[in-house]
Amino acid sequence: MSTHKAFASQADLEEKKVTFEQLSEHAWAYTAEGDPNTGIVIGDDAVLVADTQATPAMAADVIRRIREVTDKPIKYVVLTHYHAVRVLGASAYQPQQILASQDTLDLIVERGEQDKASEIGRFPRLFRNVETVPAGLTWPTITFSGKLTLRMGKLEVQLLQLGRGHTKGDTVVWLPGERTLLSGDLVEFDATPYAGDAYFSDWPKTLDNLAALKPLALVPGRGPALKGEAQVQRGLEVTKAFISDVWASVQVGAAAGKDLKTVYRDTYDKLKPKYGSWVIFDHCMPFDVTRAYDEATQYRDPRIWTAQRDIEMWKSLEG
């Protein structure tokens, strides 16, 4: 392994090509070659946007694409979870309501400021024009636990909490009438799951709960939109395999009394051949293994990442 890796994704400067495509009668996917995706639902009378992009400047491109296909008002923004890269673009949409799970709101209250500083440091390219983000955090106007059903004219839209995984607040958007799912970062495809705030022991079961819906189309958190039952199933399977492989390797190392750095090296070397080609593999692995080691040893709940903790962790594992 190289000992001179640039911190997180600071060396990642290449622009990504955006794809905007219709997945079902009412659902669209805004994807960008492994950058964070946005899911869009165009109802009878309004538009819902799930995950906002990292800044209002980046959200403007999503809005431009929406306006190419509809002039209906963007009434709802859904936060699938609390991460800054998903929520700080919200103000651009001027939505009537910002929806999130109560668990997500709790995380914003507890660690939103630290997470924002941490993520901006990790991903400069995604936070270009960060000065366009209004002061303060993005606050939900409506929260729920378990399930919330919206009626967008005749269209039924369900917001569901199907278990903890990427975070404790994870929410999916489900269109039961057309079996289309906007998964947030619970599912990734050709992109490495970020698990720094995850629940490794819960995530695989949560993915089984998603699979039980039998989606025909799925917008993952990163990577291309998944179309057809077979492709959706593949997306669920590879995400589950990665999480399970990290967790198994870390549990073995922790049970043997190995320190974090040794467990990190072992796990990186085990997973690199299978997953090393996925987007942001080198970015995610130190955070993922650190969280898994925490969970396997003494921290049931994820510790807060600060900009300072990020750098210290990176130096200790990659320095």
Residues 6+ apart with CB under 8 A from 132: 55, 56, 57
pLDDT score of 244 more than 90 = yes
- What is the count of structural domains for the chain? 1
Tell whether pTM > 0.85: yes
pLDDT score of 115 more than 60 = yes
User: What is d(CA 90, CA 59) in angstroms, rounded to the nearest whole number?
Assistant: 8
* pLDDT at residue 267 in the model: 98
Are 142 and 99 in contact by the 8 Å Cβ rule? The answer is: yes
Residue at 274 is within a domain: no
| Residue 211 burial (CB count, 10 A) | 16
- Residue 16: which of 31, 39, 33 has the closest Cα? 33
| 54-65 tens-digit pLDDT | 999 899 999 999
Residue at 198 is within a domain: yes
Per-residue tokens: 276: 């090393």
| 264-311 tens-digit pLDDT | 999 999 999 999 999 999 999 999 999 999 999 999 999 999 989 999
Question: Considering the chain, what percentage of its residues have pLDDT values greater than 90?
Answer: 83
CATH number, domain at 226?
Answer: 3.60.15.10
Region of poorest pLDDT, from 115-119, 222-226, 256-260, 274-278: 115-119
Beta-bridge mates of residue 315: none
Residue at 135 is within a domain: yes
| 165-214 tens-digit pLDDT | 999 999 999 999 999 999 999 999 999 999 999 999 999 999 999 999 99
Are 85 and 274 in contact by the 8 Å Cβ rule? The answer is: no
- Residue 35: which of 49, 17, 57 has the closest Cα? 17
* pLDDT at residue 2 in the model: 42
Residue at 121 is within a domain: yes
* pLDDT at residue 10 in the model: 53
Query: How buried is residue 68: exposed, middle or buried, by Cβ count under 10 Å (0-12/13-18/19+)?
Result: exposed
| 129-138 tens-digit pLDDT | 778 888 888 9
Residue at 7 is within a domain: no
Question: Considering the chain, what percentage of its residues have pLDDT values greater than 70?
Answer: 96
pLDDT score of 100 more than 90 = yes
| 62-98 tens-digit pLDDT | 999 999 999 999 999 999 999 998 999 999 999 999 9
Residue at 60 is within a domain: yes
* pLDDT at residue 128 in the model: 77
Give me the DSSP letters along the chain: --S-PPSTTTT-------EEEE-SSSEEEEEETTEEEEEEEE-SS-EEEES--SSHHHHHHHHHHHHHH--S-EEEEE-SS--HHHHTTGGGG--SEEEEEHHHHHHHHHHHHHHHHHHHHH-GGGGTTGGGSPSS----SEEESSEEEEEETTEEEEEE----SSSTT--EEEETTTTEEEEEEEEESSBPPP-TT--TTTHHHHHHHHHHT--SEEEEEESS-EESHHHHHHHHHHHHHHHHHHHHHHHHHHHTT--HHHHHHHHHHHHHHHHTTSBTHHHHHHHHHHHHHHHHHT-SSPPPP-HHHHHHHHHHHH-
* pLDDT at residue 163 in the model: 98
Residue at 29 is within a domain: yes
Q: Range of 165's domain? A: 19-242
Residue at 180 is within a domain: yes
